[in-house]
Amino acid sequence: MRGSGILYPISSLPSRFGIGSFSKEALEFVDFLRDAGQSYWQVLPFGPTGYGDSPYQSFSTFAGNPYFISLDDLIEDGLLTEEECTALDFGKNPEYCDYGALYESRYKALHMAYKRFVEKAEETEDFQAFVKENADWLDDYCLYMALKQENEGKPWSEWEAPYRNRDKKAMAVLGEVISQTMDFFRFQQYEFMKQWKKVRAYAHKNGISIIGDIPIYVAFDSADTWSHPEMFQFDEDNIPISVAGCPPDAFSATGQLWGNPLYDWAYLKKNGYKWWIRRIERCLEFYDVIRIDHFRGFDEYYAVPFGEETAENGKWKKGPGMDLFRKIRASLGDVAIIAEDLGYITDSVRELLHESGFPGMKVLQFAFDGSEASLYLPYKHERNCVVYTGTHDNMTTRGWIESIDDHDRDFARRYINSIYTDYGQFTWDFIREAFRSVADLCIVPIQDFLVKGNEARMNCPAVAGGNWQWRVTPGLLSKELADSIFEITRVYGRLPVRPEPEEESAEEEEESEETEKGEEA
């Protein structure tokens, strides 16, 4: 069934406290999606971010980002006061996240909330149930974060040997201070899930499904590597043998050195890929559809010897292929997955994608890259794919139109039959071209609907600093914009079939009336 949605990171939502969160603005965006005739909200990875602020380099692939916890909700719950929150500095520019200010102020607010939470004995039962249900990943994550705090934020590879190597005796005598710090991090994850469940339930009620994003790799400095070093290509001292990257190409003469630790696929296969299955299962607690970044790494991955300064001396090695996805399917059923199959793709990757049945990706900007025979041109699209105008790693469509040469711009204009020289109108024609694609699903970043230039770009790969900051300011998502999106969604056959609202039972109607009377009182 044809559908469409909007790529809009949680961090980019407007809010009063420096970064988007699970506040009323998230619920209001669900209303916007519904009114615009959309079926999907795509978000970026949910993990807690560290140095560099990238959601693709997280301290845990299982945990949620505490920055997304709504302080407004904590105020409503009596865990914070309005005065306490407004007294803190979360940054001055509502259009960009100030991660330095967030780091200083957000945890102060969460500490105050945690202190009151501990005093509210009536809430501890739900909290303890959450801790017990998630102990398989939560305990390791909270211990890792507590030790990281004790070690002034240093990566675990720089901790003293007993803690670096998880010596059992050292772990057993960590003491009450560490225990209390661990509970503070448990509280964060409890609040994160409590609030996200509310937002997700509201999305489902309005016919909106969530598309989430997970990186294929985890960060070296993470609870995942520290607690499970046996899963990675480490030596006896838990130092990486090889790390991830990609080889030299037309864009980079020395390749790209990502530095992520590589999986020991032989070990993972031996134990039935349990960790990967649990990872996907956890993602399903966040999302309805999972987009897996760097899908080709499951076919072959590029291994660069640890310590190399470039990716020139790496080698391609065989990945798990369909064996992993068969195990996932056997354990979890038919998980809805989107395969990020961008970049240089070999026949064996195409074969893996075909056998998996997962939809791949078509980025419309790539269709006009100097070659009039690009594989991304819409007439080459198939139904089982997802078409994007651009992704979080691309320029905004307006920024891209402004930056390409005259030949490519003229070809794009002729192809999409745009008569406009105004870049704003050109951008909307480009969006229409994505919507009219035969692809089952069309996703457009919110920046493109707002016709933003590259000042609103989310990420510039291989550029350190200045990424992941852009936010929507209040008032930009108007009824007129929703109506315009609704119309192109209707014209190109992507409107969802919304279920009729269920009639309230007499008992529910009575409860609703009592609630309304209480609110009036």
Sheet holding 3-7, edge to edge: 337-339, 289-292, 209-214, 40-42, 3-7, 441-445, 385-388, 360-363
Q: For 321-341, what is the HEC assignment? A: CHHHHHHHHHHHCCCCEEECC
- Sequence-distant (6+) residues with CB within 8 A of 466 are 460
**What pLDDT shows up at residue 519?**
45
Neighbours of 514 (CB within 10 A): 10
Helix axes 176-205, 24-35, angle to 10 degrees: 20
**Contact, 446 vs 6, CB < 8 A?**
yes
Q: What is the number of residues in the chain?
A: 521
Contacts of 258 (CB under 8 A, 6+ apart): 217, 243, 244, 245, 246
Q: Which long-range contacts (CB under 8 A, 24 or more apart) does 148-154 make?
A: 148/59, 149/181, 150/178, 150/181
- b/e 174-190 (16+ beta carbons within 10 angstroms → b): beeebeebbbbbbbbbb
Contact 467, 458 (CB under 8 A): yes
In angstroms, the Cα distances linking 68 to 65, 204, 490 are: 6, 20, 33
Question: Rounded to the nearest 5 degrees, what angle is found at the Cα of 361, between the Cα atoms of 64 and 477?
Answer: 60
Whether the Cβ atoms of residue 105 and residue 18 lie closer than 8 Å to each other = yes
DSSP state of 295: G
CA-nearest of 381, 373, 280 to 332 is 280
Q: Under DSSP, is residue 76 helix (H, G, I), strand (E, B) or coil?
A: helix
Contact 80, 101 (CB under 8 A): no
SS3 245: strand
Single-letter code of the amino acid located at 398:
R
**pLDDT one-digit tens code per residue, 24-80:** 999 999 999 999 999 999 999 999 998 889 999 999 999 999 999 999 999 999 999
| Per-residue pLDDT, 293 | 95
End-to-end CA distance of the chain: 47
The whole-number pLDDT of residue 506 equals 53
- Euclidean distance between CA atoms 242 and 397, whole angstroms: 37
Q: Are 216 and 294 in contact (CB under 8 A)?
A: yes
Which residue in 216, 193, 220 sits closest to 51, CA to CA? 220
Q: Which two tokens stand for residue 428?
A: 């909307």
Assigned token pair, 506: 């007499």
How many whole angstroms separate alpha carbon 146 and alpha carbon 191?
Answer: 18
Nearest residue to 317 via CA among 251, 228, 242, 231: 242
The reported pLDDT for the residue numbered 372 is 84
Q: What is the pLDDT of residue 521?
A: 41
**What are the beta bridge partners of residue 232?**
263
List, run by run, the mean pLDDT of 10-residue segments along the chain (521 residues): 96 97 98 98 96 93 98 97 97 95 96 94 83 97 96 96 92 87 97 98 98 96 97 95 90 87 98 98 98 96 96 96 98 98 92 97 94 92 98 97 94 92 93 98 98 96 88 97 98 87 55 50 41
Alpha carbons 78 and 68: distance in angstroms, whole number: 18
> Cα–Cα distance between 147 and 144 in angstroms, integer?
5
Locus of tokens 């001396």: 313
**Does residue 279 contact residue 337 with C-beta atoms inside 8 Å?**
no
Cα(127)–Cα(136) distance, integer angstroms: 16
- Token digits of residue 414: 């002729």
What pLDDT does residue 172 have? 87
Closest C-alpha to 41, from 386, 289, 215: 289
The answer to whether 292 and 216 have CB atoms below 8 angstroms apart is yes
d(CA 301, CA 343): 13
CA separation for the pair 101, 99 (Å, rounded): 5
Active site residues: 293, 340, 393
Q: What is the pLDDT of residues 115-174, one digit of tens each?
A: 999 998 766 789 999 999 999 999 999 999 999 999 999 999 999 999 999 998 998 888
- Per-residue confidence (pLDDT) for residue 503, from 0 to 100: 57
Collapsing DSSP to helix, strand or coil, 246 comes out as strand
**Tokens in use for 474?**
């209040």
The answer to whether 439 and 4 are in contact (CB under 8 A) is no
Closest CA to 105 of 93, 82, 88: 88
305: helix, strand or coil = strand
Q: φ, ψ for residue 39 (rounded to 5)?
A: -115, -15
